[in-house]
Amino acid sequence: MRFRGIHSAEDIISLVQEIGFLPFFRNGIEGFSIADLCAPELWMSDDIEGPWEWKGPIARTKTCVYGKFFAGKAGYISTEWFPDFANYRRDGYDFDARFDDELASYKDKGIYDAIAVNGEILSKTLKEKCNYRKGGNKGFDSVITRLQMQTYVNIADFVYLKDRFGQTYGWGVAQYSTPEAMFGQEFATSAYQRDPEESKERILAHLTELLPDAPEKQIRKMLG
């Protein structure tokens, strides 16, 4: 299936709502990413905004969920499909139950709890609270990616820092949240009545129909 080209944030929102899943980066399935579908001139332009700048505004609409969900890389999932995705990836576990069963580390718990308590928190502040600075804990990127892959954490926004003159600078800083905090307590668990394997097969069937030319092995690899 060929997808229409992307020229705006609204195009991304519309496409995600239509097809359910949209990776940000190329992933081995031709034509199935924002990198494939977005016009080259919109990337890294000084004059016009593009996919990098749209991430925060799209996340703030709450029409889809954004995070590192696809083989450790970022992408969007519609609110329609995210509950099944969370059911599959969490394998029936809320985070506390996963930790109690010794399937999550103390580092995972420290970062997850800091996000859950605050509702939303900038990555810079999160690192400070959890002592990920020089001489402190290591492996922040691995932990925060794992929590996103398990769907316990998502990215709610990207915030641009300002200098003393009030001018923004640099890349947007990720602001983390949990699906429960951002979309409501029952949102991510609304597919828990299904077996996690059933949710996985529902997603696989949907993507196989959506991507008839893609090898099933590649779709499964992207799903993790």
pLDDT in tens, 163-181: 777 777 677 899 999 999 9
Using the predicted structure, report yes or no on whether residue 200 has a pLDDT greater than 70: yes
Cα–Cα separations (whole angstroms), residue 186 to 40, 179, 181? 39, 9, 10
Domain ranges of the chain: 9-218
Place of tokens 């923004």: 168
Distance CA 4, CA 19 (A): 12
Using the predicted structure, report yes or no on whether residue 45 has a pLDDT greater than 80: no
When mean pLDDT is compared across 35-44, 58-67, 76-85, 102-111, the lowest value belongs to 35-44
Residue 201 has which token pair?
Answer: 């097969």
Contacting residues for 58 by C-beta, under 8 A, at least 6 apart: 9, 12, 13, 64, 66, 76
Interhelix angle 196-210/216-223, rounded to 10 degrees, is: 130
Q: Write down the pTM of the prediction.
A: 0.94
Average pLDDT score over the chain: 93
Using the predicted structure, report yes or no on whether residue 44 has a pLDDT greater than 80: no
Query: Letter for the amino acid at 154?
Result: N
Using the predicted structure, report yes or no on whether residue 185 has a pLDDT greater than 70: yes
Q: How confident is the model at residue 1 (pLDDT cuts 50, 70, 90)?
A: low
